[in-house]
Amino acid sequence: MKRHHATALAVSVLALAAAAAASVRFLDHRRPEPLLPGPGVSEVRLLSQWLPDLAGSPGDTEVYVFRGTVPGSSMLVLGGTHPNEPSSFLSAVLLIENAKAVSGTLYVIPRANASGFTHNDPQEGAPEKYSIALPDGSKRTFRYGSRATNPVHQWPDPDVYVHAASGQTLSGNETRNLNRGYPGRADGTLTERVCLGIASLIRAEKIDITIDLHEASPEYPVINAIVAHERAMPLASQVVLGLEFLDVKIGLEPSPKKLRGLSHRELGDATDTLAVLMETANPSQGRLRGRTDEALVLTGRDPYYVKAQKLGRLYVPFDEKGHPIQERVARHLAGISEFAFALSSERPDRPLELSGVPEYPELIEKGLGAFLKPLP
Amino acid sequence: MTYLYLAIAACMLALTVWNLWTEKDWRKQASAAMVAIPLLLRVLMIK
């Protein structure tokens, strides 16, 4: 064997070993962590039951259904539209493991963009996972995903993303953003078909209100806010007042009519649902953040954001206490409870009554672990 | 379109491996090996 063939063999073996080691970790991302449905879950369905074309695809995802004993209004909660916004996913998990519907029907999709949970955003330094301690000493570990669909499942990106329904153009990578693809289309990309699946569910089940849960960086103007379609504005106004009684300050923004593809705009226009989106403050997404790790995701503390606050650069209060995950989840769950209450007040003949949803003060006091079930 | 891009990635991988085995400078061989890793992961649709 020639000398350079020997070195070629050696570096090839090393490269294959590195590729194998990386593959194990990348493939591990594709295994969803178990969720433990509570007694309120009546059935677990798949989104493909509303759009059969999704069956077997990486876009198919679980839909948890809570049916009350009394008929009433219906609500759809979308968690994990952006899998790098953990309070969105965790709020859905806490509903699945704790909530019950007394009247009406609640639908919860914890991983709206299931593909986005199977990878990380490159060059963001985000942790692969984060863990939450439970009172019994065990812990639950969850994936920190990407904002967008996995490129392995939808590739290549176009140079320019054209929103099919409006012709609006955006950066090419937005083609994998679930919250730019509504109302979706049958012959579109995987992301657009997931959007269509969600819209099909809303139409078929006559969902009265759809709440899309998100997080945003503290320097983003729309934060600690509800964004509401114009038909949902009266209801959202009541929710803002209701949250004020809990001392939860939240803004109310109208859904822009010219920014297309977003859930609060397209689902409100294309279906009969009242479409709203809620945002909390997550410094681990921001461009001003320092070290990006599991601690930042969970504690929401970052000295650079404290400095930015002092310089008047943020749209949300920010001090050394940060915005911990329990506060962000508590805001979402309080908003969901208030929307159910406001909807029931408006439609007393068709109430949507939820029980078991962790309340704002107890979540702040006890933390998320107190409301998560230990793994068997 | 996906299959076209996969074919391009597979060609790039083949050329990189060919370069690795014909190159006589071990440093350039090591560079080629590192370039091959992400190409291989994409051709196998792992990453």
pLDDT > 80? residue A370: yes
pLDDT > 80? residue A1: no
pLDDT > 90? residue A233: yes
Contact A333, A358 (CB under 8 A): yes
Residue A226's domain comprises 24-371
Q: Is residue A14 assigned to a domain? A: no
Q: Is residue A283 assigned to a domain? A: yes
- For chain A, strand residue ranges (E) read 43-46, 62-67, 70-78, 100-109, 129-133, 139-143, 160-162, 169-171, 209-216, 225-228, 251-254, 274-281, 353-355
Strands A169-171 and A70-78: unpaired
Q: Which residue does chain B place closest to A2, by CA atoms? A: B24
CB contact under 8 A, A26 and B47: yes
Q: Rounded to whole angstroms, how far apart are CA atoms A56 and A47? A: 11
Q: Give the one of A19, A27, A119 whose C-beta lies nearest to B40's C-beta.
A: A19
Q: Which residue has 């107890």 as its token pair?
A: A362
Contact A262, A303 (CB under 8 A): no
pLDDT digits (tens, 9 = 90+) for A273-296: 999 999 999 999 899 999 999 999
**Which residues of A fall within a CB distance of 8 Å from B39?**
none
pLDDT digits (tens, 9 = 90+) for A141-196: 999 999 999 999 999 999 999 999 999 999 999 999 999 999 999 999 999 999 99
Q: What is the pLDDT of residue B9?
A: 97
**Which residues of A fall within a CB distance of 8 Å from B26?**
4, 7, 11
Interface of A with B (CB under 8 A): 4-5, 7-8, 11-12, 14-15, 18-19, 22-23, 26-27, 119, 152, 155-156
CATH of the domain at A353: 3.40.630.10
pLDDT digits (tens, 9 = 90+) for B18-38: 999 999 999 999 999 999 999
Q: What is the mean pLDDT of residues A196-224?
A: 96
Contact A182, A124 (CB under 8 A): no
Q: What is the pLDDT of residue A308?
A: 95
Q: Rounded to whole angstroms, how far apart are CA atoms A138 and A131? A: 10
The average confidence (pLDDT) of chain B is: 96
Residue B23's domain comprises 2-43
- What is the number of domains present in chain B? 1
pLDDT level of residue A2 (50, 70, 90 thresholds): confident
Q: What percent of chain A has pLDDT over 90?
A: 97
Q: Is residue A13 assigned to a domain? A: no
pLDDT > 80? residue A336: yes
DSSP per-residue string spanning A161-230: EE-TTT--EEEGGGGG-GGGSTT--TTS-HHHHHHHHHHHHHHHTT-SEEEEEEEE-TTSSS-SEEEE-G
Q: What is the pLDDT of residue A301?
A: 97
Q: What is the pLDDT of residue A258?
A: 94
Q: Give the one of A11, A19, A22 whose C-beta lies nearest to B20's C-beta.
A: A11
- The total number of residues shown for chain A amounts to 376
The sign one gets for the Cα dihedral A177, A197, A77, A61 is: negative
pLDDT level of residue A306 (50, 70, 90 thresholds): very high
- What is the number of domains present in chain A? 1
Q: Give the one of A7, A12, A15 whose C-beta lies nearest to B26's C-beta.
A: A7
CB contact under 8 A, A18 and B45: no
pLDDT level of residue A207 (50, 70, 90 thresholds): very high
Q: What is the mean pLDDT of residues A11-29?
A: 96
Smallest Cα distance from A53 to chain B, Å: 19
From the number of C-beta atoms within 10 Å of its C-beta (0-12, 13-18, 19+), residue A350 rates as middle
Smallest Cα distance from B12 to chain A, Å: 16
